[in-house]
Amino acid sequence: MKTITIALLQLMPGKSIEENLQKGLDACRQAKAMGADIALFPEMWSTGYGISENPDILKQSAIPKDGPFMTAFSNLAKELNMAIAVTYLEAWEPLPRNTVCLIDRFGKPLFSYAKVHTCDFGEESRLTAGDDFFVADLDTEKGPVKTGAMICYDREFPESARILMLKGAELILVPNACPMEINRISQLRGRAYENMAAIATVNYPKGQPDCNGHSTVFDGIAYRPEEAESRDTLILETGEKEGIYRAEIPIEEIRLYRSREVHGNAYRHPKKYGLLIDTERKEPFIREDYRP
Is pLDDT at 66 greater than 80 in this prediction? Answer: yes
Question: Mean pLDDT across the stretch 162-172?
Answer: 98
**Mean per-residue pLDDT, 94-104:** 98
Set 115, 124, 170, 211: catalytic member: 115
Average pLDDT over residues 75-90: 98
- Identify each DSSP E strand in 214-260 by its residue range: 216-218, 234-237, 243-249
What pLDDT digit, counting tens, does each position of 220-260 carry? 999 998 888 999 999 999 999 999 999 999 999 999 999 99
pLDDT of 40 above 80? yes
Task: Name residues whose C-beta falls within 8 Å of residue 122's C-beta, 6 or more positions apart in sequence.
Answer: none
* Catalytic residue status for 115: yes
| Residues 145, 182, 24: CA angle, nearest 5 degrees | 50
Average pLDDT, integer, range 26-53? 98
The one-letter amino acid code at 266 reads A
Would you say 243 and 48 are in contact if contact means Cβ atoms under 8 Å apart? no
Task: Give residue 1's pLDDT band: very low, low, confident or very high (50, 70, 90).
Answer: confident
pLDDT higher than 80, residue 62:
yes
211 catalytic? Reply is no
Catalytic hit among 28, 32, 43, 90: 43
- Share the mean pLDDT of the chain: 97
User: Dmax of the chain from CA atoms?
Assistant: 59
